[in-house]
Amino acid sequence: MQKSILVLPGDGIGPEITEQAVRVLKAVTDGSDLALNFVDGLIGGAAYDAAGHPFPEETKKAAMAADAVLLGAVGGPQYDNLDRPLRPERGLLGIRSAMGLFANLRPAILYPQLADSSSLKPEVVAGLDILIVRELTGGVYFGQPRGIREVDGQREGFNTMHYNEAEIERIGRVAFEAAMQRNKKVCSVDKANVLETSELWREIMIRVAKDYPQVELTHMYVDNAAMQLVRWPKQFDVMVTENLFGDILSDQASMLTGSIGMLPSASLNDKGQGLYEPSHGSAPDIAGQGIANPLATILSAAMLLRYSFGRGDLADKIEAAVSHVLDQGLRTADICTPQDRKVSTTQMGDAVVAALD
Ligand SMILES: NC(=O)c1ccc[n+]([C@@H]2O[C@H](COP(=O)([O-])OP(=O)(O)OC[C@H]3O[C@@H](n4cnc5c(N)ncnc54)[C@H](O)[C@@H]3O)[C@@H](O)[C@H]2O)c1
Ligand SMILES: CC(C)[C@H](C(=O)O)[C@@H](O)C(=O)O
Ligand SMILES: [Mg+2]
């Protein structure tokens, strides 16, 4: 089997971490019946610098032609003063929207070896395994109208929160299908006490739940969900929520697993295409120092093999290699405690590759 992967390293630590994930993908498929063809492309600030746009037409064509996309991260302070449509983040939103990647899966899993790195007490997070299903192509991120305008002699910024029934239903189905493979619990997170979009969200989730009688559906307001995630996170199995809430809750959940450098993601459409990226950003504060944690990107590469290529066997191998490396006490700075051996980004990649054998 031959498959192509478009690699979009992006900005900041993006190139450092994707390099390690590509090495792992090459090593795990070496000698297997899966032949990977890697194509490099530009996105974000790197694309703006080279081509004047954060999501060039060429990248769009390459993304549509690829069997899967592996992305690092976009953004950086050097781009903050660009016109908004040219900013790196718009490149990321552009590719998500162009590929119709409405379903963002962000698994927050605690590797037991990292219990001491979690922000919560070991007994509160032991065995933690939550799947956050974040709607990714709707909500306030994409709603129109938006902009900054002048009203009564002063400027005002405005955005529109928007969801239609079909958008809510399809992400709901993704969450319920995932729950069927897991512990059969969906918690739908909204702000139905204030927002009409959430009122509709809740109604549609209840409707979708009727097709999954074995799955227990609960509802929680997002402010309470943020609190419950740090109070007793193991009450959750699958959490499904809209774009902005999912962005925030997934960063929060990442710290329960030890570091945002541990949280992978898969963004899927309804045509079987997927984009895989760590949940974190370009980390400008540590970029170029060779100290970033590449594991979220390596684990995203495992998700790529599982979801886009149906190779759960190879994904399992990568995840087992990550676990083995953590058993050895190897840690990048973000997850390092005094008992551990601190390693660089590349050394972590080396160790995962070595552990694949
Ligand atoms: N998917 C993406 O491409 C994405 C996601 C989030 C933020 N961003 C962009 O990234 C830039 C920086 O944003 P930010 O600082 O708010 O968030 P960030 O996630 O880049 O960094 C937040 C903190 O986490 C640390 N961190 C992140 N990833 C790490 C890793 N792999 N290993 C070790 N430490 C890591 C950083 O050093 C920083 O202290 C902004 O331009 C933002 O828009 C991009
Ligand atoms: C960079 C930004 C547009 C992006 C988002 O908000 O979706 C990021 O925070 C993420 O979580 O992937
Ligand atoms: Mg985010």
Read off the pLDDT of residues 10-41 as tens digits, 9 standing for 90 and up. Answer: 999 999 999 999 999 999 999 999 999 999 99
Q: What is the pLDDT of residue 285?
A: 98
Rounded CA-CA distance 70/62 in Å is 12
| CB 279 near ligand 2, within 6 Å | yes
Q: What is the pLDDT of residue 221?
A: 98
Q: What is the pLDDT of residue 310?
A: 97
> Among 209, 173, 168, which residue's Cα sits nearest to residue 190?
168
Rounded CA-CA distance 5/199 in Å is 39
| Ligand nearest to the Cα of 244, by number | 2
Catalytically active residues are 141, 191, 223, 247, 251
Residue 84 DSSP one-character state: G
- Answer yes or no: is 84 a known binding residue: yes
Rounded CA-CA distance 112/125 in Å is 9
| CB 247 near ligand 2, within 6 Å | yes
Q: How far is the CA of 282 from the centre of ligand 1 (A)?
A: 5
Q: How far is the CA of 253 from the centre of ligand 2 (A)?
A: 15
CATH of domain 118-257: 3.40.718.10
357 pLDDT band, cuts 50/70/90, is confident
- Whether 54 shows a pLDDT value over 90: the answer reads yes
161 pLDDT band, cuts 50/70/90, is very high
Intervals of CATH 3.40.718.10 along the chain: 1-106+262-357, 118-257
Q: How far is the CA of 154 from the centre of ligand 2 (A)?
A: 29
- pTM of the shown model: 0.98
- Kindly provide the ipTM of the predicted complex, given to two decimals: 0.98
b/e per residue, 151-162, with b = 16+ CB within 10 A?
A: eeeeeeeeeebe
- Whether 328 shows a pLDDT value over 90: the answer reads yes
Q: Does domain 1-106+262-357 have CATH number 3.40.718.10?
A: yes
